[in-house]
Amino acid sequence: MTSNQSSMDQPSVATPHLPWELIEAILVHVVVAQYPLTRHRCESTPLKGDAKIEHELRQYLHVGRGLTRVRRAIVVRFPACDISQAVADGRIDRLNARIAVDPVVNANTVRQNVLQQAAQRGDTAVLQWLLDRPEAWRLCAVLRRYSESVLAAAATRNDVSFCDWWLSRIARVDVRGAMTRALKVATEHGHTRVLEWWVDHGFPVAKHTSQFTRTAATYGRIDVLEWIVQRGLPIRQSNDAMDAASAHGRIDVLEWWCDALERGIVRKLPFQAPLFKASAGNHVDVLDWWWRKFGCVSSSKDRDYGVVVASQRGHLEALDWWLADTKRWGGGNVPTMNMALCAALIKNEVAVLDRWKRLVVASRAADVDQSRRRSIFPRAMNAWVL
């Protein structure tokens, strides 16, 4: 008898069949012993070892498929099924998976920064899920504190439907307190639908038109300015608005205000052009616009601060604009010149200092030439008379 024949004649050992209850108990014991509960996590952001943990837990879930206790032990330890993490990720499916195995979920344990993130991104599905929990007694009070930033974020997204939802679930008084910032943000982005929403819901938008008129001029939002006119809201502070437009190089807005004067929307425009504000932004095109539109009318403040601020900020183009015409800068104001030189020196604006040096040298040469001519002319006259 060969060795192969002897091995074939030996009886085979039967694979043991363990009862499912014992398998379930073993798997639950292993999972509980090796992996912590997610409620013990201090952060809602994914941790370094989360991917490895999730991979391992998926293997146990595959083995124990259909075993309720195993599934529950895994889900409550699965990092992505942590309530705060699921809220941060906007995953309703994971929230539902969590309550399917752990119905007693205290929504009040959700971290406040996570709530604010969900509200700021406009995740009404997640917020509604949390508010529908019977034990969520303080969530509304917590969310109410975020009304200003949340409605400003909605204005950025042009999300009117979220504004409706927030108004229906959060106290109206808190929404009203958040109005000013939301109007400003909506104006910056030109979202007139959001502005319409505030008006249509009876909020006192008219009291704030002077503020977001300036904002519209700053960001070049002619569409918002036209919307204010079409809605019949009072349009005020043309001086501030044109100052802001000049400071930010918005010639199209300046033209709009001139057209508004012709249409009778405003009664007057600034008497003196804010040239020094255009100089602060190095907007030579705006300087030219004011000079051509209203002639050579500049205040002493413009002449003084225009060259000083251009020197301080190193705006050589704006400085050259002032120095190119004696009607703009006559050169006789020595204190202002000293201020400009000191400002450029402090900021180490070498090009500006060189420009002033060339101006002084040229001016000195011209003075010497004139004095020389005056001294030569009398001698010539005396010689001719004699």
DSSP string, 31-95: HHHHS--GGG-S-SSPPTTHHHHHHHHHHHHHHTTT-HHHHHHHHTT-GGGSHHHHHHHT-HHHH
Assign 159 to helix, strand or coil: coil
Assign 209 to helix, strand or coil: helix
List per-residue pLDDT tens for the chain, 386 residues long.
Answer: 455 555 555 555 555 576 767 766 766 666 667 777 665 555 555 565 677 776 766 676 666 566 666 667 666 666 666 778 888 888 888 888 877 777 777 777 788 888 999 999 999 999 999 988 877 778 888 899 999 999 999 999 999 999 999 999 887 777 878 899 999 999 999 999 999 999 999 999 998 888 889 999 999 999 999 999 999 998 876 788 999 999 999 999 999 999 999 998 888 887 667 888 899 999 999 999 988 887 665 667 777 788 899 999 999 999 999 888 888 876 667 788 888 888 888 888 899 889 888 887 776 655 544 554 444 444 433 432 33
What is the phi/psi pair of residue 332, to 5°? -90, -10
Classify residue 148 by burial, with Cβ atoms within 10 Å: 0-12, 13-18, 19+.
middle
In a domain, 163, yes or no: no
Q: How far apart are CA 200 and CA 194, in angstroms?
A: 10
Last residue of a domain, one of 47, 82, 107: 107
Model confidence over 138-164: pLDDT tens digits? Answer: 888 889 999 999 999 999 999 999 999
Last residue of a domain, one of 60, 87, 107: 107
In a domain, 154, yes or no: no
Number of domains, the chain: 2
Cβ distance 266 to 239 under 8 Å? no
Residue 125 has a CB neighbour count (10 Å cut-off) of: 12
Domain holding 41, by residue range, is 19-107
Provide the CATH number for the domain around residue 365.
Answer: 1.25.40
In a domain, 56, yes or no: yes
Q: Which element (helix H / strand E) includes 247?
A: helix 238-247
In a domain, 156, yes or no: no
In a domain, 4, yes or no: no
Last residue of a domain, one of 82, 107, 132: 107
In a domain, 227, yes or no: no
